[in-house]
Every structure is written in C-alpha cells, then in structure tokens.
A and B are shown apart, each in its own frame.
Chain A
Amino acid sequence: MGADSIPRCSIPSNDMPPFRGPDAVDISLTVNGQGATAHLRPQRSLLELLRGPLGLTGTKLVCNAGNCGACTVLVDDRPVYSCITLAVACEGKRVETIEGLSKDGELHPVQEAFIDHDAYQCGFCTPGQVMSIVALLRTKGKPTEDDMRRAVTGNLCRCGAYVNIVKAGMSAARRATK
C-alpha cells in the first residue's frame, strides 16, 4: 500500500467504460485525509479494505449485513455501513474512520464526551456510534435530543450504553457550539 494518491485515469466520454474485474482491480481513494490505493476484487467491501490492506481495525465487523452499525464510517461526510459498501464504489471518494478523528493527539470533542459520560461498555459499537454523531454535528450545530437519538438509531449497542451515548452526543454538541 502506498500512502500517495494515484491520479485517477480519466475515461474518454465517448468510450464505453470497461468492466473491471472480476480479478483484483486498482482503486484509489482518500482515507482520513490521505490518499490510499488498493488492489482488490470488486466484491470486496469497504470494511474489508479498511480492516485488511489498510490495517484500520478500529472499524468493527459484527453482522456483515448492514444490520448493526458497528462498521459505520463516513463517505463524503455521510455515515454509511462499510460492510455492505463495495470498496470499488468508493473510488475517488473521501472516507473517514475512527482513526482519523483525533488530530495531533487531541481527541475529537465527541470522543472526549464519550469518555466523560461513560458512553460505552465493551466498546465494540463505540467507533460506529462516534462516527454517526460526528456526522450529525457537521450538519446540525444545535441538534435536539431527538435529533441525537435518531442519529444513532442505526447503531446497535448490546451492552445498553444508549443513555450515556445520547448524553455524550448532546454534551459534545454544546461544547462544539461554545
């Protein structure tokens, strides 16, 4: 894996774009602000790309079916389930994972708030919960509690940390708007 971005081949508009694959194809995308390239089959999920070749194991695999939210990452600012997103479909897109949130050793306000409010137990759903809330706060500076709850309806927590997750999210929102 090279860290440098490979420029995308431009396709002449008159030409039929070719099918690529089924063997491994090259794709390039931006992950946590850095260019990344990979060589994998079109059937591979974004989650497989992140956890495998890119070594970003903070994003968790739970259901592999879009039913739980543990694999939530942001693609072009929107939270999606990386387990059912094809990696090849993320060509040229901007992907953000839990590993990209803290800058220069400083935690993101949502991460801080999770610690302050004990918004986790086993921690396995935490990266996904955090990403969903980060996405909400980018589009809505002053969310209501209902907005906050609805932002994490797609993130299951089996330990039942929901009460504190919502508290942490609201506290991060207040912190961010100060």
Chain B
Amino acid sequence: MAGLRVVKSRDEFEGEIFESLAIIQGSDLPPHAAGAEFEEIGKARKRIDGVQRVTGRATYTQDVVLPGMLHARVLRSPYPRARVRAIDSKKAEALPGVRGVLHRFNSPKAAFRGEETIFRDEVRFIGDEVAAVAADDVETAVRALGLIEVEYELLPHVTDLEEAITDEAPRLEDGGNVFDAGSLKRGEARQAFKDADAVVEGTYRTSTQLHNSLESHGAVAQWDGQILTVWESTQHVFGVREGLRAALLLPLSQIRVICDYMGGGFGSKGGVGKYSIIAALFAKQLSRPVRCVLTRHEENLAAGNRSATLQKIKIAAKDGRITAIDHTSWSNAGQGRWVANPTGPTNTLYDFANLTTKSYRVVTNAGSLSAFRAPGYVEGTFALESAIDELAERVGVDPLTLRRRHAASQTDPRTTKTYSLKRLLECYSIGAREIGWSKRRAGGTRGSAPHRRRGIGMGTQIWGGGGGPPAYATVHFNSDGTVILRAGTQDIGTGTRTVLAQICAEELGVDLDRISVRIGDTEGPYGPISAGSLTLASVGPAVRLAARDAREQFLGAAAGVLEVPRTELRMERGHIVSKGARTPISEVSKKLENNTVIGKGSRWPNPESLAIKTFGAHFAQVEVDTLTGEIFVEKVVAVHDIGRIVNPMTAASQVQGGVIQALGFALSEERVVDRSLGRVMNADLEWYKIPTVLDVPEIVVRFTDRPDRRANNLGAKGLGEPPIIPTAAAVANAVANATGVRLRHAPMTPARVLEALAVIQ
C-alpha cells in the first residue's frame, strides 16, 4: 500500500519506557482547535451498553455455555515447595464422566512465561498447578482431582518477604532470593545528606493486596479442527492470542480470542493464564468445548497480587527544600519473574538534585505478583509521600508548601524532557480549596467526640497514561446509515465502548445512538492491553482518524450520489449538508446499497521530545478514634490532571473507584500467610476485606480538564490508575496530622493504629 511508513515511538507502560514501532499512513489529525464546540466529546453520556449490564444480559466468560461443554478443574500443590516425583492418574481417568487428565508426565509441552510447561517439576507455592481434569460436570472433575495420586518430595520453603532476604532463609534459586530490579542515581546524595539541615529516615511496609476482580480468571475454549476460539475474561484479547500461540504453536490465523463483557480487570488479566492453556489443550485433545474458570479460593492463590514491600527512605532538607532522597525497596514477587518498581515515583515526581534509588525483587514460595492498578507506584507513593510529610514536619514547613517548591518544574527529572502538559500546581490549589487546607492545624483538631481527633493530609501522584501505538480502528457505514466501529480493545468496566462511540460520533457528525461498537475480539483490528491507563490515549486517536477517514470517503460518495461537488458537502447531526439542503445519511447510504465505506485509523507515535505524564493530588480528612484505633475517612478530594475529559460521568466513576480501592489498600486489605504452613489463610472474601459501601467517604472529584494538545490528536490521557496512587499516603498523612502518630505500614488496621499509639498494655 502506498504511503506507509514505519516510525519509532516511545511509550510508557506501568512506569517503564518502551520503544515500539508504529506503521502509519497519511497524516495525523491536528488536535481540536482551542475553543472548539463539541456535540459529544466532554459530555456526560450514559453507557451505551447500560441496558445489557442492568438486565443481566451482558455475556461474561462465566456465562458462555456451549453444547457439549466439559468442565476443567486444576489440582494445585498443597505444599509451598516440593518436587513432583510421580503422578498416578489411573483412578481419576477411570471415574465415569472424566474425559481427560493432564499433568507434567503426560501433557504436551506448552510454553508459559519462559517455562517449557505449565506443570512444574518443582512446585513453588500452595496453589501451583500440578494436574488438570476435564469432565462432564464440575462435581465429577473435583472428585477426580481427589483421585490423582501425587508423590511429592518436600523442600524447605519461605513465604515472608523479610524472612526471605535473611541469610538463614532457604535459597530458592541459584542466585539466591534477592535480585536487582533497577536503580537510579542523580547528583551526589551522600554529600547532600552530610550538608543537610535535617535528615529523616523511615522504614515503610505495605502488605500484599489481592485483586479479587469479582469475575474470576477463566476461559472457555473451543476447537473446530481449524480454529481455536477462546472466550476469556481478559484485559487483552491479543495478548491471550499471543500466549496461546506460544503455548500451542498454532498460527495466529487459527486462534480467535473473544472478551465481550468482563467482570473486573485491575491488572492481573493481562495475558494468557494457565487456565486458558489448560482449556485449550483439552479442547484440542478432546474435540469438545472446555471451560476452565477459577474458584474464589484459586483466584486468591494463583492469579496474582500486589507485592508486599519493605521500603527504606532517607530524605534530607536544607534551607526549606528537599536536597536528597535515598529510597531502597524490596518487593515480594512470589514466583514472579519481574517486579513493579516502588521507587518509580521517587525517580520522577519531584524536582530535587540528589537521588539514589534501588529496587529488589525477592523470590518466595508464594503466588506470583502481577500488575495491580499502578503497580509499584501505589506502594512507593505511600512511602515517599509519607516521608515527605515527616520531613516537612521536622523542618517546620507546611507539607503542601514543601511539595509546591518541587512540583513546579516543567521538566521530567529522569529524562530531562519537557512535559507535554503539567498542571500539578493547579491540582494542589483546587484540592487545597476543596478540603479546606487553610484550616489544617499542626497537631490536628478536635473530632466529633472527646476521644476522636481530626486531621487533614494529602498526597501527590505521577503516572504515565500517554498511551501510544500500535492501535487501530475501523469505521463502517451500513446501507441503512448506521455505523459500526471496530477497535482492538476491550471494555474492562471503564466505559471504553461508550467513550469510543462518543469520539466516533463527534468526528462523523452523527448521533451517538447510530453507532455500534464492536470490541473484545481478535478478529478486529489490533489494539493494546487495557492497562497502564493507556486505552483512551492509544485507541481514542485511532478511532478519531478512522471516523474522519470514513467521513471523508462517505462525503466523496455522497458527492457522486447527490451530484454536488465534494467541497460543498459536510456531515452534521446525521445529515449530509450542502448549500441549502440537508439529506439524511441513510438516504445516501441506501443509494450506495452494499458498496460499503470503510474508514481506517491508526495511532500515531508520541512526540519524541516530550514526556507525557498524568498528575494529580488527593486530600483526605479523617477522624481517628484514639482509644479503639479506628480510622474514619470522612472526605477525599481527588484532583487530576489527565488532559481532556471525554466523558465526565465515566471519568468520575473511575476516580471514585480508584479512591475506594485505595482505601482498601490503606485500611483493610491484607493477604495473611501462615509462614510455617505456607498457606494463605484468607483466600476468600470473608477475611480478605475489600471495602463495603459503609467504608466509602464523601468523594469530591475534580479535573483540570485541559486538553494535552501535544500528546495526541485527542488531547486525552489515561485515568485508570492515577486515582488509586496517592490515597493511602493522603490518609496516612491525615492520621499523622490528627494524632501526631505516624503509621508506616499499610493497611492501617485498628491493631496497627493502637500499636502506633502505644497504648497496648
């Protein structure tokens, strides 16, 4: 095809910069003119798939039922570490209703995350996959699991982060248990600490947080002899397709992955899972559709988590400014091969001269970490923003004032590139006004009862969210004038279908209800993972281009049909408008019959010379019962600088949800592992405590809402992760303000608050 070019693009994903290639054609659209008036963009629109969601008709992977479908269940290691010596599955195979058994001694190789097979020789955590059964029904599958005889050789284990980094811990890998996961140095921190007026040191801890998406991970696989079709609850249909290709060695053209509705994605549904491979292997082997969906218990053992961290921060000030930070972090990666970097915010958020940061991945006999909504940044920001408040108090500067001194810079301290847009100071001003920062008093104020103290605190967030290529969209005009938008993305609950339809409607000049959105299917054009806050900024600009392309083509065709020069035509509110005449689009499309207009759009690369970031600040007001240790969060003000807001209603929902999930991290959510047994004691929703409706404070959502015109043609950036990042720190700082006591371990449970208040007898 003519005019294709390949260009490099630098994109940020989960705190890391990646270089990618983008194939582009033609030219990008300029951003909307300043002061442009919109019909759809920026308007609060109800979700276009709302009826399906409220009537129970939305089809989730869990709801896919196929004729003849078998049910697969997984046998999981009951030991935190053991060698699988032998497996005898004869009894299980003989059970009526059992159709197949897979384990390491009989299953084909299936590559998964760098390992050759999904069933390990050495199982490394309770919940590690040992075998799988496919049977006519779930109950038979479960009974069959009990009939599989496994000979284990038990090996010494360690599950706890702080135990694993000691010399006494069993060495789990040749290199030990602790691995470098990145470091950064800027200036001369050592000298700066010597020259400082004040140095504050603190050790911070964050506990393991479990995703607990309400729909568990799972897949339904069907093999028709030629095409493997997999329905999966995923944040990336193309990632699942690639994972299945690598595992099953099928050509991509023979794999189709579908995710219509999915019940929650907070990072752990980023690619293929062992359950998908198990379902696919069985489906191919048995020529029957196979469902493999995790139970809640399995979900909490083997589907990922936010690592527990141990973080040490040393921070120095001179003349009322931060001069140096030293931040070292250890993350419990379980059996994960990577680690989210808690020092990310320290590396990039503030402008100060001297910095050393180090991040370590610690291997333990616990389930692997996986990305969890702003991985690393939630944990790191809790520590960093707590430490900054501690420093501010030490040097007697208002904590917001101290931050302002380091937040004005328009240059990314890590890359020295200029920010495409940064309005963090404005976030501070809006938030301070909404929370009543001027009424904040050192030492807090009296609460609503004699034993209650009230305090105000805040925290800052930085995150990527600029998105990037590759992302594609197509726009079809049907012969009745309706429009089908296809994009290679999936709606994980953020409202992606709706905002893409808004962008499409705006560009086309048709009403929103004329547009149908088809996503979540690898039969459509490629799109990125719905993670890293990159969906809107990646796919939105491509949709805009596709819609523009379709519009231009349609107007060209309309010119022929209406016999009016093309230059005199435009599209407006569902009509072709020329001098003095308005013709409904459907009239023109009817005449075109089945000569279909197809517009295409692709995401253009990010500007090479700019750093694209999102910024924000949360302010919290809390009351603390100083005698029971209970924290009552009364109000959270969340202010975000994320470029243009396409749909204020769904955007507000994102922020509220992020704040609430963050409150779980801050106050109640914590995986509990018995160290000697290696067992997760609360792999359920009874003792693993996610927030209830009564845990929700008043939440005020504000946006700077200025398009980032240099970021992409839409001026929009991501919002999925920013609102979970600064809440825990804001609450911790508010608690410190209220009580004079610093909580350095999240979650800040009543037990920890009482311990910090040192009133335990």
A interface residue numbers (CB < 8 A to B): 55-65, 67-68, 70, 97-99, 101-102, 107, 111, 114-116, 118, 120-127, 130, 149-150, 152-153, 155-166
CB pair B47 A115 closer than 8 Å? yes
B156 within 8 A of A: no
The contact sample of 14 A-B pairs, CB cut-off 8 A, is A57-B59, A62-B216, A65-B686, A97-B56, A98-B54, A118-B46, A120-B47, A121-B494, A122-B213, A122-B264, A159-B657, A160-B657, A160-B696, A161-B653
CB pair B56 A158 closer than 8 Å? no
CB pair A153 B694 closer than 8 Å? yes
Report the stretch among B91-99, B341-349, B658-666 that lies at the interface.
Answer: B658-666
- Residues of B contacting A116 in the complex (Cβ-Cβ under 8 angstroms): 46
CB pair A98 B694 closer than 8 Å? no
CB pair B213 A65 closer than 8 Å? no
Bound state CA distance, A130 and B295, in angstroms? 24
Bound state CA distance, A123 and B491, in angstroms? 11
Interface flags, B53-91, vs A, CB<8A=1, else 0: 111111110110100000000000000000000000000
Question: Which residue of chain B lies nearest to A164 when distances are taken between CB atoms in the complex?
Answer: B653
- Residues of B contacting A120 in the complex (Cβ-Cβ under 8 angstroms): 47, 50, 53-54, 493
Please pick, from B50, B296, B493, B691, the residue contacting A122 in the complex, using a CB distance under 8 A. B493
Give the distance to chain B from A166, nearest Cβ to Cβ, in Å.
Answer: 7
Give the distance to chain B from A106, nearest Cβ to Cβ, in Å.
Answer: 11
Question: Which residue of chain A lies nearest to B53 when distances are taken between CB atoms in the complex?
Answer: A123
- Residues of B contacting A150 in the complex (Cβ-Cβ under 8 angstroms): 694
* 4 A-B pairs with least C-beta separation: A58-B56, A160-B660, A122-B493, A124-B263
CB pair A166 B55 closer than 8 Å? no
Bound state CA distance, A62 and B296, in angstroms? 7
Bound state CA distance, A151 and B63, in angstroms? 27
CB pair B684 A122 closer than 8 Å? no
Indicate whether A165 sits within 8 Å of B693 (C-beta atoms), given known contacts A67-B685, A118-B649.
yes
Bound state CA distance, A126 and B60, in angstroms? 13
B760 within 8 A of A: no
**Which residues B187-242 have CB closer than 8 A to chain A?**
212-216
CB pair B656 A111 closer than 8 Å? no
Q: Knowing that A122-B492, A149-B694 touch, tell me 18 more A-B residue pairs with CB under 8 angstroms.
A: A57-B56, A57-B59, A57-B62, A62-B685, A63-B296, A98-B54, A121-B493, A122-B265, A123-B58, A124-B60, A124-B214, A124-B263, A130-B54, A152-B693, A158-B213, A162-B656, A162-B691, A164-B656
CB pair A102 B55 closer than 8 Å? yes
Bound state CA distance, A134 and B686, in angstroms? 25
CB pair B656 A160 closer than 8 Å? yes
- Residues of B contacting A125 in the complex (Cβ-Cβ under 8 angstroms): 214
CB pair A114 B50 closer than 8 Å? yes
CB pair A127 B56 closer than 8 Å? yes
Bound state CA distance, A153 and B695, in angstroms? 10
- Residues of B contacting A114 in the complex (Cβ-Cβ under 8 angstroms): 50, 53-54
Give the distance to chain A from B356, nearest Cβ to Cβ, in Å.
Answer: 36
Please pick, from A58, A60, A163, A166, the residue contacting B214 in the complex, using a CB distance under 8 A. A60
Interface flags, B653-697, vs A, CB<8A=1, else 0: 110111111000000000000000000000011100011111010
CB pair A158 B55 closer than 8 Å? no
Question: Which residue of chain B lies nearest to A130 when distances are taken between CB atoms in the complex?
Answer: B54
Interface centre among B46, B213, B693, by most chain A C-beta atoms within 10 angstroms, is B693
Please pick, from A99, A118, A130, the residue contacting B653 in the complex, using a CB distance under 8 A. A118
B164 within 8 A of A: no
Question: Which residue of chain A lies nearest to B212 when distances are taken between CB atoms in the complex?
Answer: A158
CB pair B62 A61 closer than 8 Å? yes
CB pair A65 B684 closer than 8 Å? yes
Please pick, from A65, A126, A149, the residue contacting B693 in the complex, using a CB distance under 8 A. A149
- Residues of A contacting B296 in the complex (Cβ-Cβ under 8 angstroms): 62-65, 67
CB pair B47 A160 closer than 8 Å? no
- Residues of A contacting B119 in the complex (Cβ-Cβ under 8 angstroms): none
Give the distance to chain A from B711, nearest Cβ to Cβ, in Å.
Answer: 25
- Residues of A contacting B653 in the complex (Cβ-Cβ under 8 angstroms): 118, 121, 161, 164
Question: Which residue of chain A lies nearest to B60 when distances are taken between CB atoms in the complex?
Answer: A124
B1 within 8 A of A: no
- Residues of B contacting A64 in the complex (Cβ-Cβ under 8 angstroms): 295-296
CB pair B699 A63 closer than 8 Å? no
Interface centre among A115, A118, A125, A130, by most chain B C-beta atoms within 10 angstroms, is A118
Indicate whether A65 sits within 8 Å of B685 (C-beta atoms), given known contacts A99-B56, A164-B653, A166-B693.
yes
Bound state CA distance, A164 and B696, in angstroms? 11
Bound state CA distance, A67 and B686, in angstroms? 6
B262 within 8 A of A: yes
CB pair B264 A124 closer than 8 Å? yes
Indicate whether A101 sits within 8 Å of B55 (C-beta atoms), given known contacts A118-B649, A159-B493.
yes
Give the distance to chain A from B138, nearest Cβ to Cβ, in Å.
Answer: 9
Give the distance to chain A from B390, nearest Cβ to Cβ, in Å.
Answer: 29
- Residues of A contacting B261 in the complex (Cβ-Cβ under 8 angstroms): 122-123
CB pair A70 B214 closer than 8 Å? yes
B51 within 8 A of A: yes
Indicate whether A58 sits within 8 Å of B295 (C-beta atoms), given known contacts A152-B693, A156-B692.
no
Give the distance to chain A from B638, nearest Cβ to Cβ, in Å.
Answer: 12
Question: Which residue of chain A lies nearest to B56 when distances are taken between CB atoms in the complex?
Answer: A58
B713 within 8 A of A: no
Please pick, from A57, A123, A152, the residue contacting B263 in the complex, using a CB distance under 8 A. A123
Indicate whether A56 sits within 8 Å of B693 (C-beta atoms), given known contacts A65-B684, A124-B263.
no
CB pair B56 A59 closer than 8 Å? yes
Please pick, from B214, B264, B266, B693, the residue contacting A162 in the complex, using a CB distance under 8 A. B693
Interface flags, B19-57, vs A, CB<8A=1, else 0: 000000000000000000000000000110011111111
CB pair A160 B215 closer than 8 Å? no
Give the distance to chain A from B662, nearest Cβ to Cβ, in Å.
Answer: 9
Question: Which residue of chain A lies nearest to B63 when distances are taken between CB atoms in the complex?
Answer: A57
Give the distance to chain B from A55, nearest Cβ to Cβ, in Å.
Answer: 8
Bound state CA distance, A98 and B649, in angstroms? 25
